[in-house]
């Protein structure tokens, strides 16, 4: 259709040469022209100019100058688009605004999808909980992730292996062991790594498979195999950090091997296993003295009847971390067993005044119930402490029963008896109000 025109067609003096349109004389002039172009009158002018460029392109084309023709047509199209948009100046501004609003909506949708499609796993999310004593800002900053310096950057081989495994699992999604409900060995490793690799205070990505599998086996109740794996791991590494992790894993496994939960919710302990656990913990703290290990050692020495060591280790744990309320309960328990009632009461009261989470009370109550079970009638003050914790925890029946037993016990002293009766009275009032 362009051949329908000739170079002479529509020619007028002012458009005979493309240079007849003087270039913009400067930014002010350009701005003025932009403003002019933005007006409806300017848009009419723009359309006229576009048609002139279009016809000029036709003439170049007819003369065999294809490149110049193309340039003119492009220019014409551009001017035409601008002029069309300028017909409605308000709409032009609205177009920018709508584009930006559209983008912002896209951004919101994007984040919505990102946060719903890749939620943090529940067990991982638990790392964010607790630490209520920290400031709001500290809790906000805490991602529950490891520090950047400790990330183990994956090598290309690990990346490739993971990718291959991922493809393989996708392709055999409904086949083989998975269909039978049995995880593949790789899947099991992956699960173990996910479950234990980023869990707990000893979070460390440089941990090895011995540690991961040791914890995995321990969790599955295969304690002997778990112990064997941890011991093998200890033989295979000289790195102090890894040895500390492995000793800690070994200690936990021994402890749980000797921990037998009874039907009444209380535990019985194999003291030989507790002794092995304490030995492993002692090795661990030589390398990495962390408050948790000291606290656990304190508890194990209490179970073993080494009360002085139990208090020593527990006090060390508290000096390192003042927030360990379960350690305070352990110290109170040790003093109770040693008949240091005032000291014991001081520690129990300290815990209650700190208003810890419910699980702390539950742990303390369980320990006291175990003490009463193993030593019937020997520690009457354990009923007082039990009553205190149960009342604070809202277990009024248990509290009332314990305190009643306490006030009816012989040889407890008038001061303690009066105090227990006062608590009983207060509790009854509270119960009535409730």
Partner 1 sequence: MSPLLLILALAPPLAMVWFFQSFKPAPPEKPGLLAILFISGLLSGLPALFLNHMVEKYTALWAGAPEIQHRLLFWMLGIGWNEELAKLLPLLALLYFRKDFTTPYQGLLGGITVALGFSAVENIFYLDRFGTVTLLVRSILTVPAHAFFTAPLGLCLAYSKNAAGAGAKYGWLLGGLLVSMVFHGTYDIWLSFEYGWINRLAYLQVLLMGLFTLLLMRIARQAPIDRQTGAGIAP
Provide the binding-site residues for partner 1, judged by CB under 8 A.
21-24, 26-27, 29-31, 33-37, 45-46, 49, 74-75, 78-79, 81-82, 84-85, 94-96, 98-100, 102-103, 106-107, 110, 114-115, 118-121, 124, 128, 141, 143-146, 148, 151-156, 159, 162-163, 166, 190, 193-194, 197-198, 205
Min separation Cβ 159 and partner 1, Å: 6
Residue 393 CA to residue 356 CA, distance in Å, equals 10
What SS3 class is residue 172? coil
Give the tokens for residue 80: 């035409």
Residue number, 144 or 363, with CB nearest to partner 1: 144
Residue 383 CA to residue 398 CA, distance in Å, equals 10
Residue 309 CA to residue 160 CA, distance in Å, equals 51
Residue number, 153 or 174, with CB nearest to partner 1: 153
Residue 312 CA to residue 298 CA, distance in Å, equals 7
Residue 322 CA to residue 151 CA, distance in Å, equals 29
Residue number, 166 or 429, with CB nearest to partner 1: 166
Asked if 243 and 207 touch (Cβ cutoff 8 Å), the reply is: no
Residue number, 93 or 394, with CB nearest to partner 1: 93
Instruction: Enumerate residues 6+ apart whose C-beta is below 8 A from 345.
Output: 332, 381, 384, 385
Residue number, 78 or 408, with CB nearest to partner 1: 78
Per-residue exposure over 133-162, b if at least 16 CB sit within 10 Å of its own CB, e if not:
eeeeeeeeeeeeeeeeeeeeeeeeeeeeee
Residue number, 190 or 393, with CB nearest to partner 1: 190
Min separation Cβ 30 and partner 1, Å: 2
Min separation Cβ 333 and partner 1, Å: 38
Residue number, 95 or 183, with CB nearest to partner 1: 95
Q: Where are the alpha helices (DSSP H) in 288-324?
A: 291-304, 307-320
Residue number, 1 or 22, with CB nearest to partner 1: 22
Residue number, 158 or 322, with CB nearest to partner 1: 158
Min separation Cβ 153 and partner 1, Å: 4
Min separation Cβ 387 and partner 1, Å: 42
User: Nearest Cα to 336, choosing from 364, 296, 294?
Assistant: 364
Question: What is the end-to-end Cα distance of the chain in Å, rounded?
Answer: 94
Asked if 124 and 198 touch (Cβ cutoff 8 Å), the reply is: yes
- At which residue do the structure tokens 């498979």 appear? 209
Residue 320 CA to residue 261 CA, distance in Å, equals 31
Q: From the CB of residue 19, how many other CB atoms can be counted at a distance below 10 Å?
A: 7
Residue 65 CA to residue 19 CA, distance in Å, equals 17
Asked if 339 and 319 touch (Cβ cutoff 8 Å), the reply is: no
Residue number, 197 or 380, with CB nearest to partner 1: 197
Min separation Cβ 201 and partner 1, Å: 16
Enclosing H/E stretch for 179: helix 176-179
Min separation Cβ 214 and partner 1, Å: 18
259: β partners: 269
14 DSSP 8-state letter: G
Residue number, 27 or 181, with CB nearest to partner 1: 27
Integer Rg of the chain from CA: 39
Residue 294 CA to residue 320 CA, distance in Å, equals 9
């Amino acid at each position: 259709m362009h051949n329908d025109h000739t170079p002479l067609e529509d020619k007028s003096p002012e458009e005979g040469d493309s240079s007849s349109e003087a270039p913009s004389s400067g930014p002010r002039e350009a701005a003025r022209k932009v403003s002019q172009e933005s007006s409806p009158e300017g848009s009419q002018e723009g359309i006229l100019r576009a048609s002139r460029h279009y016809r000029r392109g036709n003439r170049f084309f007819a003369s065999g100058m294809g490149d110049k023709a193309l340039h003119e047509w492009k220019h014409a199209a551009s001017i035409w688009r601008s002029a069309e948009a300028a017909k409605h100046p308000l709409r032009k501004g609205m177009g920018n605004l709508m584009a930006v609003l559209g983008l912002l909506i896209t951004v919101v949708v994007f984040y919505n999808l990102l946060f719903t499609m890749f939620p943090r796993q529940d067990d991982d999310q638990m790392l964010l909980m607790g630490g209520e004593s920290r400031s709001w800002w500290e809790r906000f900053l805490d991602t529950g992730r490891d520090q950047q310096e400790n990330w183990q950057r994956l090598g290309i081989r690990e990346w490739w292996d993971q990718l291959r495994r991922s493809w393989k699992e996708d392709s055999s999604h409904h086949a083989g062991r998975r269909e039978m409900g049995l995880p593949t060995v790789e899947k099991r490793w992956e699960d173990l790594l996910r479950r234990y690799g980023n869990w707990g205070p000893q979070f460390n990505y440089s941990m090895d498979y011995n540690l991961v599998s040791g914890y995995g086996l321990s969790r599955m109740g295969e304690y002997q195999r778990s112990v064997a794996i941890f011991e093998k791991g200890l033989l295979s590494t000289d790195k102090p950090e890894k040895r500390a992790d492995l000793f800690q894993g070994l200690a936990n496994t021994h402890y749980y091997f000797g921990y037998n939960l009874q039907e009444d919710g209380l535990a019985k302990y194999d003291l030989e296993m507790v002794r092995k656990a304490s030995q492993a913990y002692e090795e661990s703290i030589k390398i990495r003295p962390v408050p948790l290990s000291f606290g656990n050692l304190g508890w194990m020495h209490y179970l073993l009847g080494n009360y002085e060591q139990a208090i020593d280790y527990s006090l060390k744990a508290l000096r390192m971390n003042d927030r360990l309320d379960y350690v305070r309960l352990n110290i109170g328990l040790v003093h109770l067993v040693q008949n240091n009632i005032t000291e014991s009461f001081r520690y129990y009261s300290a815990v209650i005044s700190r208003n810890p989470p419910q699980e702390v009370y539950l742990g303390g109550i369980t320990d006291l119930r175990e003490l009463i079970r193993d030593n019937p009638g020997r520690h009457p003050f354990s009923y007082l402490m039990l009553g205190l914790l149960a009342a604070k925890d809202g277990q009024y029946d248990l509290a009332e029963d314990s305190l009643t037993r306490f006030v009816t016990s012989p040889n407890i002293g008038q001061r303690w008896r009066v105090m227990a009766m006062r608590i009983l009275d207060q509790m009854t009032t509270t119960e009535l109000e409730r």
